[in-house]
Amino acid sequence: MLNRRTFGKIVASTGMAATIGAASTSVASAATGRSAAATTDAAAGASEGGRRVVLVHGAYADGSCFSDVIPHLQTAGVTVTSVQNPLTSVADDVAAVRRILDLQTGPTVLVAHSYGGTVISQAGDHPKVRSLVYLSARAPEAGEDYAALSKKFPAPPANAGLVYENGFGQLTEKAFLDDFANGVPAERARVLYAAQGRIAQTLFTTKTSAAAWTSKPTRYVITTEDRTTNPELQRFLAKRMKAKTIEVASGHLSFITHPKTISAFILDAVNSK
């Protein structure tokens, strides 16, 4: 695990101390119309040396949830693409990520939040993926019953707020604001709630057939104030993966509440040999 002094040097080396204003992201629709991406070549040499990042959101969200992190990565000269998962099935989400990976021009760091960890564990075996970054994310072994694994740890409060209707589910407003987006300013959290992606009822029970983290360098961010994924479960997953790990005093949406810290951790993966 990185200590604060070492990680502080990473933050300083990335130039994250400068204040970065709000940035707009260009959105391009994928050929299937199901996946959209925000991609910018921030520097002339960005397509060389593995300076590409693909971001994969989890449940109750969409690709725009990374809007606080994207400008930091772009300013550092990284080409960034944020996938739009349809959340209709694990297979559909994996296909959406693979389409975006196919478009990358070289080695790429694949980053996922929450349920998105299931997706990159499967899609991360793509030949263009050089390393993986998990943000409070699921990380099942191939064929593992992740739901059964998670039940070995105390249930997080957000679980009680997941309601399904006609085969799709979402969090109640109270669960979303208090448990999923805890720590996010209330006005921003309400916007995120309005845009939350509804999930297929089978999404959390589908097993994967691959675990890319067993063969590729892996990093993990543990969020200690998390009310959606139990922090002890996160620690178990990070240890099992032998991941390079940091802990952040944040709720589930650390990339919104601590964008500089999360950006620096992703850049550590980008800049690694």
Taking residues 109-129, report their average pLDDT.
98
The number of domains in the chain is: 1
pLDDT in tens, 145-194: 999 999 999 999 999 999 999 999 999 999 999 999 999 999 999 999 99
Cβ contacts of 256 within 8 Å, gap of 6 or more: 65, 68, 181, 184, 188
Check: CB of residue 267 under 8 Å from CB of residue 76: yes
Instruction: Tell me which residue range forms the domain holding 134.
Output: 4-156+205-271
Q: Is residue 163 part of a domain?
A: no
Residues 6+ apart with CB under 8 A from 102: 126, 128
From 114, 136, 150, 254, the catalytic residue: 114
pLDDT in the model for residue 33: 39
Within 13 Å of residue 116, how many CA atoms lie on the same side as its CB? Answer: 31
pLDDT of residue 50: 52
Tokens of 117: 């960890």
Q: Does the annotation count 64 as an active-site position?
A: no
The predicted-structure confidence for 218-262, as pLDDT tens digits, reads as follows: 999 999 999 999 999 999 999 999 999 999 999 999 999 999 999
Q: Is residue 232 part of a domain?
A: yes
Question: Which CATH number is 33's domain given?
Answer: 3.40.50.1820
Polymer length of the chain: 273
In sequence order, the 6+-apart residues with CB closer than 8 A to the CB of 95 are none
- DSSP notation for 97-127: HHHHHHH-SS-EEEEEETTHHHHHHHHTTST
Does a structural domain hold residue 26? yes
